[in-house]
Chain A
Amino acid sequence: MALAGRTAMWWARLRSPCPAAAPRCPPPWPLAGPVACQRLYSSRGKEKLDMSTYPVENIRNFSIIAHVDHGKSTLADRLLEITGTIAKTDRNKQVLDKLQVERERGITVKAQSASLFYNHEGVNYLLNLIDTPGHVDFSYEVSRSLSACQGVILVVDANEGIQAQTVANFYLAFEAQLAIIPVVNKIDLKNADPERVEKQIEKLFDIPIDECVRISAKQGTNVEKVLQKIIEKIPPPQCHTADPLKALVFDSTFDHYRGVIANIALFGGEIQKGHKIVSAHTRKRYEVNEVGILTPNEQPTHKLYAGQVGYLIAGMKEVTEAQIGDTLFLYKQPVEPLPGFKSVKPMVFAGMYPVDQTEYNNLKSALERLTLNDSSVTVHRDSSLALGAGWRLGFLGLLHMEVFNQRLEQEYNMSVILTAPTVPYKAILSSAKLIKEYGKAEITIINPAQFPDKLSVSEYLEPTVLGTIVTPHEYIGKIIALCQDCRAVQKDMLYIDERRVMLKYLFPLNEIVVDFYDTLKSLSSGYASFDYEDAGYQTADLIKMDILLNGNPVEELATIIHNDKAYATGKFLCERLKDTIPRQLFEIAIQAAIGKKIIARETLKAYRKNVVAKCYGGDITRRMKLLKRQAEGKKLMRKIGNVEVPRDAFIRVLKRQTDK
């Protein structure tokens, strides 16, 4: 673990402002202005911090938000260093990004938080940095993290300028009415153009140019100024310790020894070991075992008080018991739950199968362990006649899916078949019989097998997203064509400066789940950025398309698609099957059908000759091995009618195409 070396760095008790010149430990950072509070090392950190010395008015809760790679994690590292939370070394790279995949991809998947102690003009401040996941797939988590904050630092790369995710993040913060500190980062880069970026910020976000702070998080330039801005511009939380306990769960992690560790922000009251608390969502009761702050490792404290941010351990066994957005209160002292809670709804589904069925149990236990820490993944057992036993997994979005898959591979050494992603459709039923059967008129369809017939449906609905694209203007033509191809509707188009354009489109989600992002990146030479947010459902002309082999439907290849796309998709699937199914003793008709109507057809001709020419002497041993392998293969083939389809053919058709 990245932080293992630092676990010994316990915070000693912090009581009052430390004299700047206290000699016991030199400040970790050569400070010009206000001095960070003295850190005291203790070899056995059994003592607990007393957090009562930080009244609400000395607390600032904030997040850093940024587009991928604009320097959010680097800025966090510097803030942690300057405030003495971590020792300054060259190794502090993305300290809060603990996962391998986060460091590799430069993204934050799992938010980490840290409490910083900072002395400014003689006052000791408690600055709670509430890290947010760095992608819109986690926008719900981002919004919950933001609801624990009063302000944000909006980081923009001085070279790349405003990107799609910058826009999305800004609006999340703006709508939450948070104080926004715009920071132009990477001014040390050769091509940095902070002036242009500040103009973009002014034009798009209506923030005066002189409010922007130009920094280089990498070199530490002006980072101190950011700390001062946090104290000056972000208001302290408005809440009272005298009120009854009201704590927001904004994140949770799972520890094999201690169970669920919930990250909480106190909107009122105080909390300590022994308190009996209740979850507003589940109504379950718990006794608090431990509270503390994150520095960024868990540091137990006696109590947490209103306005403070920290963690709580209370005998919760599963992460689903500490759902993000839930409110905790004291037993018998119920409070109005904090607004905005919703259960996480997966937006992208994909089948996951072990490459080799003998790996099923290993994969199962890896999935269980990984989902312990990620309650937003839904897991349902599924089986495919072609791919064997597996699961249908629900993810918040595409990146979430990729990250999950990558973690399986990296952390559990599991190689899997991931099928092309699908989205949850809905149908409004008109048939009284079906309504009775389902117990409701609106149903969600995840599996094409459950797709109700048009005759018993008044309308079908598909999920949509509002996508933001920021691109250099020379790619506009191609991008607009791409969006139209995806059935997207333009909502906005704005020049954010003379060279860059921001486009907003309403996309059907299923149009972007497969390869939209890769296509966008490749047609803009990597310059266009994309982000999206949930935009609800819209009516759609959906149909179920079957694939038939010699007239017999292949269950695992049925798909729900938009009518406009049926022909092209049907043709594509038939062609690909033709290339992957081996010739057989008879002709095979590969058809795509909607109901009884055939919309595409390919013919796989029968073998007319399949016999090895020469079979003498040396050949026979090799020949027999090959034949026996083929015989073994036969046993694994899926029979559709009399057509034998090898598992490989299914994999090649169903698998997510990442390498086009």
Chain B
Amino acid sequence: STLCPQWPYCRKRCSYCNFNKYVVPAVDEAAVRACLVREARTLLRLSQVQSITSVFFGGGTPSLASPGTIAAVLEAVAGAAHLPTGAEVTLEANPSSTSTPRLAGFRAAGVNRLSIGVQSLDDVELQLLGREHTAAEARGAVEAARDLFPGRTSLDLLFGLPGQSRDAWAQGLEAALGLCDDHISLYQLTLEQGTALAAQVWGGTLPTPPQDLLADMYLTARAMLVAAGFRHYEVSNFARKGALSTHNLSYWRAEQYIGVGPGAHGRFVPWGEGGHSREARVQTLEPVTWMREVQSQGHGTRKRVVLSPLEQLEEVLALGLRTDEGITHELWGHFSPHLSLQAAFGAPGEAKALQQQGWLVLDGGGLRCTWEGLALLDSLLPDLLCQLQRR
């Protein structure tokens, strides 16, 4: 199992982000820390998880938390479950809060992997995105991070910005390749309801990126990264020298994960409460309310939904097919002991047709997308769900 603590605060609101985040003048860090620690303990007890294979500090902007808070949470985890020495502990970091001493502090606290939200290496683009750092600051942050976390520094980039050309993107990516370590995440910008950027695009002040251009950008990036020795191991993630993110992989493999903190999501079986089924769990969104709940009842779980076996399999499909290895027979068998992958998708039907068309492969390794199919996964999934629902 993995653990995902959330730090819900940001210094500034980015124009494209609709995550559960809060920009407040002052954070009572001691109180938040105490609650994160307490909730982590409570949920670990409820899940009866023995061992935590990875921890991922997300947000918000977790690099705004002090190393002491990170350390406190990790100590709590280690106290409640087994946290192996080499377990991947990632911290999401913004270039504006990653000075070398700070990063050293995080490393001392137990963080051993850094994911830096570079987003772009162009100042105009960064401004459009509402980021509070410059391209030069981003470079500085990555360099500092690589010094402290060699081989374990990842950077995030966004593409498909309004007005961005294919060439501008390719140049930006080229620059990022000169800067990066062994892991890159490339995300197509998604316009989310309620964000400033979406309002501008839908209102007509900014151009809508054409579909074909977005496809070009994606395919260009894939080709460039593969040429640079990266493995395209998930829709938006690339790694070389085996630097895959353990944490994210376990997520795509539908392993158990425990969300801690305001608005965190989790998927686990609450054995400790007498539960026997995998549940989808959401923690209370608003930090102050969440803290009150944690203080009074040990955790701020707001919503629990038991996932039916079919729903679990649907998630396995939707997540597993995002990776290059796909869904192995072993993984499928874990969730579906009675209906094998072959039985579900080997018979004539949608999956068979998609295989014949060259989008899918079902073989001894399992079920996975072809190179071409991966870029079209969302067109394949509804068909696969239909076929699965009929079984």
Contact = CB atoms under 8 A, between A and B. Distances in A.
Given A609-B215, A609-B219, A628 B376 contact: no
A611 B389 contact: no
A285 interface: no
Contact of B322 (A615, A617, A634): A615
A615 B319 contact: yes
Interface in A433-448: none
- Consensus secondary structure, chain B interface: helix
A660 interface: no
Interface stretch (A44-52, A214-222, A619-627): A619-627
A633 B381 CA distance: 13
Interface in B346-391: 357, 359, 374-383, 385-386, 389
A620 B381 CA distance: 14
B319 A611 contact: no
B215 A608 contact: yes
B298 to A, nearest CB: 21
Interface string A592-605: 00000000000001
B273 to A, nearest CB: 20
Contacts of B50: none
Contact of B375 (A610, A630, A631): A610
Contact of B311 (A613, A614, A624): A624
Contacts of B319: 615, 620
B382 A620 contact: no
B376 A610 contact: yes
Given A585-B376, A608-B212, A618 B20 contact: yes
A572 interface: no
A612 B383 contact: no
Contact of B219 (A585, A608, A617): A608
Interface stretch (B72-80, B164-172, B257-265): B257-265
B233 interface: no
Contacts of B380: 585
B218 interface: yes
B141 to A, nearest CB: 21
A515 to B, nearest CB: 28
Contacts of A633: 382
Given A623-B318, A628-B385, A611 B265 contact: no
B265 to A, nearest CB: 4
B385 A627 contact: yes
B375 A627 contact: no
A631 B377 CA distance: 13
A607 B380 CA distance: 11
A383 interface: no
A91 interface: no
A610 B190 contact: no
B263 A614 contact: no
B123 to A, nearest CB: 23
Interface in B44-101: 58
A614 B264 contact: no
Given A618-B265, A633-B382, A634-B386, A611 B318 contact: no
B382 A618 contact: no
A190 interface: no
Given A618-B265, A624-B315, A611 B378 contact: yes
Among B377, B382, B386, the one with the most A-chain Cβ atoms within 10 Å of its Cβ is B382
B385 A617 contact: no
Interface string A613-653: 11111101101100110110111000000000000000000
A631 B265 contact: no
B4 interface: yes
A631 B216 CA distance: 27
B335 interface: no
B5 to A, nearest CB: 12
Contact of B376 (A609, A618, A631, A634): A609
A614 B236 contact: yes
B188 interface: yes
A584 B311 contact: no
A610 B235 CA distance: 11
B199 interface: no
A607 B190 contact: no
A583 interface: yes
B249 interface: no
Contacts of A616: 248, 251
B382 A634 contact: yes
B296 interface: no
B381 A585 contact: no
Contact of A613 (B188, B359, B385): B188
A631 B385 contact: yes
Interface size class of B (residues with CB under 8 A): 35 or more
Contact of A631 (B187, B259, B389): B389
A620 B322 CA distance: 13
B314 interface: yes
A635 B212 CA distance: 28
A487 to B, nearest CB: 39
Nearest to B254: A620
Contacts of A617: 4, 58, 251, 259, 264-265
B39 to A, nearest CB: 16
A608 B216 CA distance: 8
B382 A608 contact: no
A614 B251 CA distance: 12
Indicate the member of A612, A615, A617 with the most B CB atoms within 10 Å. Answer: A617
Contacts of A623: 318
A609 B263 CA distance: 30
Given A584-B379, A633-B382, A613 B190 contact: yes
Contacts of B211: 583, 607, 609
Most chain A CB within a 10 A radius of its CB, from B19, B20, B314, B381: B381
B224 interface: no
A615 B315 CA distance: 11
A607 to B, nearest CB: 6
B362 to A, nearest CB: 17
Contacts of B375: 608-611
B344 interface: no
Contacts of A608: 212, 215-216, 219, 375-376
A564 B357 CA distance: 41
B10 interface: no
Interface string B214-258: 111011000000000000000110000000000010010000000
B239 to A, nearest CB: 17
Interface string B26-39: 00000000000000
B214 A609 contact: yes
Given A607-B379, A634-B382, A585 B212 contact: no
A240 B303 CA distance: 87
A57 B107 CA distance: 115
Nearest to A617: B265
A610 B314 contact: no
A628 B282 CA distance: 20
B280 interface: yes
B244 to A, nearest CB: 15
A610 B386 contact: no
Given A585-B357, A618-B263, 15 more contacts: A585-B379, A607-B211, A607-B376, A607-B379, A610-B378, A611-B376, A613-B190, A617-B58, A627-B314, A627-B381, A627-B382, A627-B385, A628-B314, A630-B382, A630-B385
16 contacts: A584-B379, A585-B357, A586-B357, A605-B212, A608-B215, A609-B219, A611-B235, A612-B235, A613-B188, A618-B20, A620-B265, A624-B311, A624-B315, A624-B318, A630-B385, A634-B386
The 6 residue pairs across chains A and B that have the minimum distance between CB atoms: A608-B215, A609-B215, A631-B385, A630-B382, A613-B188, A611-B377
Interface of B: 4, 19-20, 58, 187-190, 211-212, 214-216, 218-219, 235-236, 248, 251, 259, 263-265, 280, 282, 311, 314-315, 318-319, 322, 357, 359, 374-383, 385-386, 389
